[in-house]
Structure 1
Amino acid sequence: MTASPVSPAAQRGVTLIELMIGMVIGLLAVLVIAQVTTVYEGRKRTITAGSDAQVNGALALQTLQRDVQASGYGMTEGGATGCRMVGQRAGVAGQFEHTLAPVAITDGANGAPDSLDVLMSNHADFALPTRVAGGHTRGSNVFVIGANTDLGHHKGDLLLAVPTPTPDQTDPSRYCSLFNLSAEPVAGSGQLFHDAGADGPWNQDLGTTVFPGIQSTDVSYPAGSLLLDLGTLVSRRYCLTGLADAQCDTPAPQAPYHLRQISFDSSTGQSTAADLYPQIVQLQAVYGIDTSTPPDQVADVWTAVSPTTAKGWQRVVAVRVAVVARSTQNEQRPGKAATDWVTPTLPVWYPDGVTAEPIHVEKSPPGAGDDWRNYRYKVFETVIPLRNLLWQPA
């Protein structure tokens, strides 16, 4: 059979009008898809950046909590808390002086971030105090202790001598002394030597002994004083980089707004800096002070003012810390009004557990003016008990 011919009218094809309508429909579909993709990508970046900020903030707070809880380990026995520690390390000009405070807060001016200094011992064995049996004079090179009480002491250990009665840090003539054991204790000898030299890097008197007194025969540490074996003195400073803190920014950080840990190791005499978690833009802390008489180990007052006496330091039973993490995503998108902010007001924390106070995240803005309002913030806050102070004898 032969196919029937197709009429010319059926072979017209697509008209120009039909083609233009098809193009308009296609362009509208592309526009809708582009808008949906843009919104989706924006939401995804917001969620991802927010998740990163929450992780960074939680880890930063956990790191601070872990070290603050361990602060004062091996250093608070015998009422040593608040004592002025004096030492002299080989090759270092001037004496090392530091208040024996498990945690010290440096309050940032006008709402700027605070910094925390944490002290603890790092002993391989156990941290039991040793009682001095015979008076130690200013010029002596040996501490006399009871027979068979040298357990846990080893050559090179850093010890802290604490006189009795415990000195107050306001008395310049009485303090606590840092020294090294220069020889392995002989079992049963009742002697702990601290000769100057290569075996005792913290025994370098350089003409000015670290032991209290005036004459070499003056008794620096009478019988009954305590020796605390620190093993190694660990001092860690936590601060935020890129916020005009010269000490925190030396050496130069890898990027601003990191929680930085600066660690000092007494065995090497060296400090090392590590940038831990990014986008941490605020750190605030206050002491919890037990003002009850007699002490009941419950914080009654919360303040950022550091104590000025040994008894004042012994009343610090907790620290309240707040960390603020910021998202990296700028939420100011095209088409939004300049005042359509995602964070219109400053976030808050509760330094006394009751009253809300603003946290000044505008102290670390990513840009000028109100640009800080275009970012999301998360506040992480907790109370950290100082267990090594709570466990010390009243």
Structure 2
Amino acid sequence: MSSSIHPAKGFSPGFSPGFSLVELLVSVVVGMLAIVFATRLFVSSEQNKAAAVGGSDSMQNGMLAMFSISNDAGQAGWGLNDTLLAGCDTTFSDTQGYVLPVVSRGGVDTTPLSPVVIESGGTASDRITLMAGSAMSGVGSERLRDNYAGAGSVNVATTQPFGFLQDSVVVLAPEPAGGKCAVAQLSDTPPGFTLNFAADGTRRFNRATLGNAYGAGQARVYNLGPVATLAFHTWSVANGNLLLRATDLAGTAATPAAVVDNVVAIKGQYGFDTRAANAFDPATGMQVGAWSTTMINADGDGVTGGAGDIQRIAAVRLAVIARSKMPEKPDPVTKQCSATTAPLTVFAGRSPATVAASAVTVNVDVIADWRCYRYRVFETIVPLRNAAWRP
């Protein structure tokens, strides 16, 4: 018997099973398209994620910065709201390096005690100082009993005055107002009616003398509370960080401490009560009549930046500009970023509605690729409640 081999059923002689070249090329093209679409989807997803995370970062940083500054503003002026103190040009020195901000008064530089001092940076970030004492007696004071001409102590009318304890910070203010005030630190608890402020090197605010002369019955001594809680705070921005110099935070009197990162600017405006002299009555409440980034002649006495103008600051308007942590990718064609295309504007709205806004443009080009970042603006208005609570 003979046998023969036949081709497999369904295949013609000479045909091998598998993919043809055309089918293989089609499969490769389809696979490449799938990879391209998947890559674009992944890149887009990462960009959206980066934008969302950056927005979250700027939200958190901006809110923390605003909370910190506005909390200071809410306490500003405590213990400084007597008309003899508020705006008084003050002799002040600190062995730890804190300095009072400078205010131009009729063209002359002064260092006044004030609930708020805004050193305008124009289109750049401002520097904002907020001051508050902590004495339980608020604006309690003692009248000077004897002349003071340059010693290390003063005599007051009351024996062992309430709240005047060792290391309390005190301010001597002339009465009536018009002269210079002076800050000192008590070196011991008064044994009687004598307040000692010896310059022994252990009290940071003491000098050999106060630097000013005061007559008997022509000055008052105010207690600002313990030195450890004297809240003179200066807020500023540098290199994308919110900075704080403070009298009550160790190591920050001369060198500021970084508080929040990715903050590119802070801005402030005074809210002045501009009512005429007869209508101005702080006891019935303060009213904002004008917003200004600098001091104005709010009391109409012809001198800009005087004590009367400082006593008419009813509120402070604050703005914080925070930046996202991660930059966005530039356009692949133009190679330019478009996350932010122009400087930002703050304080553009009316508040209250009857007071004209004073908008401020803020440049955020502190880094070369500033257009690649997204920014958030936070604004608030803080009434200076202690400005109305005055003796």
- State the match for 2:121 in structure 1: 108
User: Would you say the 8 A contact 1:282–1:359 is kept in 2?
Assistant: no
- State the match for 1:300 in structure 2: 289
Matched, 1:192 2:205: no
Change beyond 3 A, Cα 1:106–1:78:
closer
1:343 Cα deviation from its structure 2 partner:
3.2
1:223 Cα deviation from its structure 2 partner:
5.6
1:380 Cα deviation from its structure 2 partner:
0.9
Change beyond 3 A, Cα 1:269–1:42:
closer
1:64 Cα deviation from its structure 2 partner:
1.0
Could you tell me the TM-score, scaled by structure 1's length? 0.78
1:315 Cα deviation from its structure 2 partner:
0.7
Corresponding letter in the other structure for 2:264: V
1:137 Cα deviation from its structure 2 partner:
2.2
| Equivalence map 1:177-188=2 (5 Å) | 177-186=182-191
User: Would you say the 8 A contact 1:361–1:372 is kept in 2?
Assistant: no
- State the match for 1:145 in structure 2: 157
User: Would you say the 8 A contact 2:128–2:234 is kept in 1?
Assistant: yes
- State the match for 1:236 in structure 2: 233
Corresponding letter in the other structure for 1:322: A
Corresponding letter in the other structure for 2:64: L
Corresponding letter in the other structure for 1:134: R
User: Would you say the 8 A contact 1:262–1:272 is kept in 2?
Assistant: yes
1:325 to 316, 319, 322: 322
- SS of the residue corresponding to residue 81 of structure 1 reads coil
Out of 18-27 and 30-39, give the one that drifted further. Answer: 18-27
Corresponding letter in the other structure for 2:388: L
- State the match for 1:253 in structure 2: none
| Equivalence map 1:72-221=2 (5 Å) | 72-87=77-92, 98-109=111-122, 111-123=123-135, 125-132=136-143, 134-140=145-151, 141-147=153-159, 150-167=161-178, 174-186=179-191, 189-198=192-201, 200-205=203-208, 209-213=209-213, 219-220=214-215
1:235 Cα deviation from its structure 2 partner:
2.3
User: Would you say the 8 A contact 2:346–2:377 is kept in 1?
Assistant: yes
1:175 Cα deviation from its structure 2 partner:
1.2
Change beyond 3 A, Cα 1:191–1:40:
same
Matched, 1:279 2:284: no
User: Would you say the 8 A contact 1:286–1:302 is kept in 2?
Assistant: yes
- SS of the residue corresponding to residue 151 of structure 1 reads coil
User: Would you say the 8 A contact 2:265–2:364 is kept in 1?
Assistant: no
Change beyond 3 A, Cα 1:130–1:221:
same
Change beyond 3 A, Cα 1:190–1:82:
same
User: Would you say the 8 A contact 2:61–2:262 is kept in 1?
Assistant: yes
Corresponding letter in the other structure for 1:357: A
User: Would you say the 8 A contact 2:144–2:221 is kept in 1?
Assistant: no
Corresponding letter in the other structure for 2:275: S
- State the match for 2:222 in structure 1: 227
- Residue by residue over 1:302-351, the C-alpha shift from the partner in whole angstroms, topping out at 9 and shown as x without a partner, is 11123521111101111111111222444453445467834344332225
Counterpart CA distance in 1 for 2:171 and 2:349 is 35
Corresponding letter in the other structure for 2:254: S
Counterpart CA distance in 2 for 1:273 and 1:42 is 35
Number of residues paired by the alignment?
352
Change beyond 3 A, Cα 1:35–1:356:
farther
User: Would you say the 8 A contact 1:318–1:383 is kept in 2?
Assistant: yes
User: Would you say the 8 A contact 2:145–2:156 is kept in 1?
Assistant: yes
Counterpart CA distance in 1 for 2:312 and 2:358 is 25
Change beyond 3 A, Cα 1:203–1:275:
closer
User: Would you say the 8 A contact 1:211–1:220 is kept in 2?
Assistant: no
Counterpart CA distance in 1 for 2:41 and 2:100 is 66
Identity of aligned residues (%): 24
1:90 Cα deviation from its structure 2 partner:
6.1
- State the match for 2:306 in structure 1: 309
Q: Alpha carbon RMSD of aligned pairs, Å?
A: 3.2
Could you tell me the TM-score, scaled by structure 2's length? 0.79
Counterpart CA distance in 1 for 2:215 and 2:221 is 12
Corresponding letter in the other structure for 1:62: F
2:271 to 288, 292, 296: 288
Corresponding letter in the other structure for 1:288: G
1:198 Cα deviation from its structure 2 partner:
4.8
- SS of the residue corresponding to residue 340 of structure 2 reads coil
2:43 to 35, 38, 44: 38
- State the match for 1:381 in structure 2: 379
User: Would you say the 8 A contact 1:130–1:145 is kept in 2?
Assistant: no
User: Would you say the 8 A contact 2:76–2:132 is kept in 1?
Assistant: yes
Out of 379-388 and 328-337, give the one that drifted further. Answer: 328-337
- Residue by residue over 1:86-115, the C-alpha shift from the partner in whole angstroms, topping out at 9 and shown as x without a partner, is 1455698x9998310121111114x12111
- Residue by residue over 1:49-85, the C-alpha shift from the partner in whole angstroms, topping out at 9 and shown as x without a partner, is 1111121112111111011221222222353100112
- State the match for 2:240 in structure 1: 257
- State the match for 1:216 in structure 2: none
Corresponding letter in the other structure for 1:382: T
- Which segments of 5 or more consecutive residues in structure 1 lack a partner in the other structure? 168-173, 214-218, 242-255
Counterpart CA distance in 2 for 1:333 and 1:201 is 53
Corresponding letter in the other structure for 2:116: V
Corresponding letter in the other structure for 1:130: S
